[in-house]
Structure 1
Amino acid sequence: MVVPSTMNASSWPSEEELDAVRKKVAEMSGRNVGDVRVVACPYRICPLGAHIDHQGGIVAAMTINYGVLLGFVPSDETEVLLQSGQFAGDVKFSTCELQDPIKNPENISWESYARGALYALQNGGYDIKKGIIGFICGVEGLDSSGLSSSAAVGIAYLLALENANNLTISPLDNINLDKMIENKYLGLGNGILDPSAILLSRSGYLTFMDCKTITPSYVYFSELNKSRQPEGGQLAFKILLAFSGLQHNLPKKRGYNTRVSECKEAACALLFASGNANMEPLLCNVDPSSFEAYKGTLDVNLAKRAEHYFSESKRVAKGRDAWARGNLEDFGQLISASGRSSIDNYECGSKEMIQLYEILLKAPGVFGARFSGAGFRGCCLAIVNPNRAEEAAAYVKEEYKKVQPDLVSQIPCDKCVLICEPGDSALIISADLM
């Protein structure tokens, strides 16, 4: 569905960004600039609910005012022709081609997400006859940053192909289609956190997604305590993203899938011990009392994974209440506790990521911090007092440079620490509706 943009002066994408993408697609296709439509898919953060979406848990998420832009026009026939702002070369294939799942993670490239979108639509029973001519770009340097850029790219291709073929597909169905890209085509064990945040977020709200029932709910910040918001309409918080400089993909994929398997193994053992072996081996199907009763029977690693799931679920529930009250101090403490559990119980992260997390905890004005994404590479997030955001960003950059000078030297100066604001959900912007 095409919707008019509701952008304001501080929102993303800017008119300059949109114009640049439209002009590039017009050059590629020979069409008028006014014919080009642009999919805007924001990046997401997950303040609470780390690593429990694939176990059917409840997660909290919001988007930010940065993301992926895919300008496109429908092609005359079945051809898909794509170019990227980050990667060289053209990608060409036909929508008539049947896409086979990728067998080796080392073979995943930037074109895999476009082919994966076609694969998901084909296997979802949708008739895709028309291709697209498109140009995709994101924030340079953030393509492996822990902000779900891969989900943003996959969803962008889904929305563009659907639009070109006059298909109206609900956000919930697109969540499942993106999950098919990740799980079936790319071979990753991802849950539905990323696509849910990108497709269902609402500006000003924190989205809570029940990943077992695929049911979203929304809580408006400070709904019960509006007096805590700063005067003059200023945001009560900003989002700090601090980048580690780690860019390697394969260890993350292996580590991520290993943790997912361990969670399922723990669920299987707990369900068997509690007489519920017939249930699907997900930790959301284990009663918390059963975990307390039988956690001593688990292997040490499995017990840690389960401990993270159940403690994180409690933090999400407490975080919902703190958010509704506008209590950023309580909310921030829960975020930081989530980060600590990810290190101690889920055992993700690296030396560099842990250093960055601990620096953020000491930064001025920071309410709370944790890893963003899987935590093996990428960035850490923090919720920060808006009046101290610049000071906090400078502190983090300087302190991280002391412990990781080589990594910091590889990050563009303006991308080392970003100060962000909450965003909105993915949308298609048509030039004639601006």
Structure 2
Amino acid sequence: MKQLIKEIQSEFQNHFTGNYLLVNSPGRVNLIGEHTDYNEGFVLPAAVDKSIVLAISANDTQTARIYATDKEQLYKADISSEIKKSDKEWPNYLLGVVDQLRKHGYEVGGFDCVFGGNVPIGAGMSSSAALEGGVLFGLAQLYDLEIPPAEMAQIAQKAENEFVGVQCGIMDQFVSLNGKEGYALKLDCRSLEYEFYPFKRDDIRIVLCDTGVRRELASSEYNVRRSQCEKGVSVLQNFDPDIQSLRDVELEFLLAHESDLDETVFRRCKFVVEENKRVLQACNDLDKNDILSFGQRMYQSHAGLRYEYEVSCDELDALVDIAWKIEGVFGCRMMGGGFGGCTINLVKEQNLDHFISEVSEQYLEKLGQKVKIYQMKVAGGTHLIHNSEVSINAQTSS
């Protein structure tokens, strides 16, 4: 991380002048709670120690000047009036934040920004949310904006929804901004209330195994699943008008009305109802430091995603099947929308090398493909980088 920070500092000094703030904005994993967010349920994500780092300063103009280190591109935008989208796409994640700040009644001026990171792109760790949260946090610091945590997450989400044009939920931005080192964050996707649960096991690593599969099917099937859940709710409301979403449905009630639902719709609803319950049970497991039970719920979650929600794929299932048989693996499941992407694994540190070796060899043998593997730990949310974290030659603020 120190090397990344020094690179960002150097690039800022190459392109701009003056003092700046350094911001660390993390990627995230979702430990458990998949496809529950748009059903107004619960999720249990955590911020991790893979981040976007930004150097940002006010420049006393009405121009945003942004340099992306990974693309080696400088972009300038007039933000004096209506902000226009860029054809380059990547600047829109930052410009969208300025657009939303103004729509929420917060005034900001021009700024200079350099950013780069070590969040794996395409691995489902929400590098876009980290970038949005990072520039939002930096601008709030520069312009003394007092924005409550939930509103800050909503601003970042709407920047992606309305300006970038990606219909993501709020989980990614919320945990990236508000994560806490050593804790998972349980988020109520209806009320946006949140609680922290301890995840302080230094002997356990979070490991992502990336299938390398990216399928367009995920977007269309996501909409299908959402529609099926809404169909289930509309039927169940005939028997209980107080039901607003699957969040309000108990499993016993759902089972009692199985015959009233289309078979596929029933299976989709059953998964969501059970997954919500698993999140709450998993929180209790963390309170008790019962990582064995927590891990079993991860396997149960994957089984539901595989057989009831039907959003897994051969590559993901192979990785889960491999992990199940390796000593020192507490739990494993697919993470994200499905049809590709990563599995998330909880692995005992002393078994880590063996795990990596076995997964790599067996995945190549079974599927003829290499798997990318990323290790990480639970970390804090978006924050300013201070002198204690790296030797800084330019001024930072607290």
Instruction: Note the alpha carbon deviations across 1:213-266, whole angstroms, 9 max, x for none.
Output: 2111122248xxxxxx7xxxxx13111111112346x54333333333332332
The aligned residue for residue 232 of structure 1 is none
Cα distance in 2 for partners of 1:123, 1:300 equals: 44
Instruction: Note the alpha carbon deviations across 1:332-369, whole angstroms, 9 max, x for none.
Output: 01011111211222221333222223222233311111
The aligned residue for residue 427 of structure 1 is 383
| Aligned match for 1:368, one of 322, 326, 331 | 331
Counterparts of residues 227-238 of structure 1 (less than 5 Å):
235-238=202-205
The aligned residue for residue 136 of structure 1 is 115
1:162 aligns to what SS in structure 2? helix
| Aligned match for 1:185, one of 135, 142, 163 | 163
2:385 aligns to what SS in structure 1? strand
The aligned residue for residue 96 of structure 2 is 116
| Structure 2: runs of 5+ lacking an equivalent | 387-394
| Aligned match for 2:78, one of 94, 103, 114 | 94
| Aligned match for 2:213, one of 237, 246, 262 | 246
Aligned-partner residue type, residue 403 of structure 1: K
Compared CA separation, residues 217 and 99, structure 1 to 2 (3 A): same
Cα distance in 2 for partners of 1:214, 1:82 equals: 31
2:357 aligns to what SS in structure 1? helix
Cα distance in 2 for partners of 1:300, 1:39 equals: 49
The aligned residue for residue 4 of structure 1 is none
- The alpha-carbon deviation at position 405 of structure 1 amounts to 3.7
| Aligned match for 1:197, one of 175, 189, 205 | 175
1:258 pairs with 2:224: yes
Aligned-partner residue type, residue 258 of structure 2: K
1:173 aligns to what SS in structure 2? helix
Aligned-partner residue type, residue 37 of structure 2: D
Cα distance in 1 for partners of 2:362, 2:196 equals: 36
- The alpha-carbon deviation at position 88 of structure 1 amounts to 4.7
Cα distance in 1 for partners of 2:262, 2:327 equals: 40
Aligned-partner residue type, residue 345 of structure 1: E
Aligned-partner residue type, residue 255 of structure 1: E
Q: Do the aligned partners of 2:52 and 2:131 also contact (CA within 8 Å) in 1?
A: yes
Counterparts of residues 293-332 of structure 1 (less than 5 Å):
293-332=256-295
| Aligned match for 1:340, one of 303, 307, 317 | 303
- The alpha-carbon deviation at position 419 of structure 1 amounts to 2.1
Q: Do the aligned partners of 1:146 and 1:375 also contact (CA within 8 Å) in 2?
A: no
1:387 pairs with 2:371: no
- The alpha-carbon deviation at position 97 of structure 1 amounts to 4.1
Cα distance in 2 for partners of 1:261, 1:242 equals: 30
Aligned-partner residue type, residue 194 of structure 1: D
Instruction: Note the alpha carbon deviations across 1:94-127, whole angstroms, 9 max, x for none.
Output: 223434789xxxx783222112212322222222
The aligned residue for residue 400 of structure 1 is 363
Cα distance in 2 for partners of 1:133, 1:297 equals: 58
The aligned residue for residue 390 of structure 2 is none
The aligned residue for residue 26 of structure 2 is 42
Aligned-partner residue type, residue 129 of structure 2: A
Compared CA separation, residues 68 and 296, structure 1 to 2 (3 A): farther
Cα distance in 2 for partners of 1:57, 1:108 equals: 35
Q: Do the aligned partners of 1:271 and 1:286 also contact (CA within 8 Å) in 2?
A: no
Per the normalisation by structure 1, the TM-score is 0.82
| Aligned match for 2:234, one of 256, 263, 268 | 268
1:219 aligns to what SS in structure 2? strand
Cα distance in 2 for partners of 1:91, 1:259 equals: 38
Cα distance in 1 for partners of 2:84, 2:269 equals: 34
Q: Do the aligned partners of 1:39 and 1:70 also contact (CA within 8 Å) in 2?
A: yes
| Structure 1: runs of 5+ lacking an equivalent | 1-13, 223-228, 230-234
CA RMSD of aligned residues (A): 2.5
| Aligned match for 1:351, one of 314, 327, 347 | 314
Percent identity, aligned pairs only, is 22
Total equivalences in the alignment: 390
Compared CA separation, residues 259 and 171, structure 1 to 2 (3 A): same
Compared CA separation, residues 126 and 380, structure 1 to 2 (3 A): same
1:153 aligns to what SS in structure 2? helix
Deviates more, 1:421-430 or 1:288-297: 288-297
Q: Do the aligned partners of 2:214 and 2:339 also contact (CA within 8 Å) in 1?
A: no
- The alpha-carbon deviation at position 433 of structure 1 amounts to 5.8
The aligned residue for residue 374 of structure 2 is 418
Cα distance in 1 for partners of 2:282, 2:64 equals: 44
Instruction: Note the alpha carbon deviations across 1:39-80, whole angstroms, 9 max, x for none.
Output: 211111111111102211121121211121122222221111
Aligned-partner residue type, residue 34 of structure 2: A
Instruction: Note the alpha carbon deviations across 1:254-290, whole angstroms, 9 max, x for none.
Output: 33333333323322332234234xx64x322445444
Cα distance in 2 for partners of 1:272, 1:82 equals: 53
Cα distance in 1 for partners of 2:143, 2:367 equals: 48
4+ residue segments displaced more than 6 Å = none
Q: Do the aligned partners of 1:189 and 1:260 also contact (CA within 8 Å) in 2?
A: no
1:272 aligns to what SS in structure 2? coil
Compared CA separation, residues 268 and 109, structure 1 to 2 (3 A): farther
Cα distance in 2 for partners of 1:182, 1:58 equals: 21
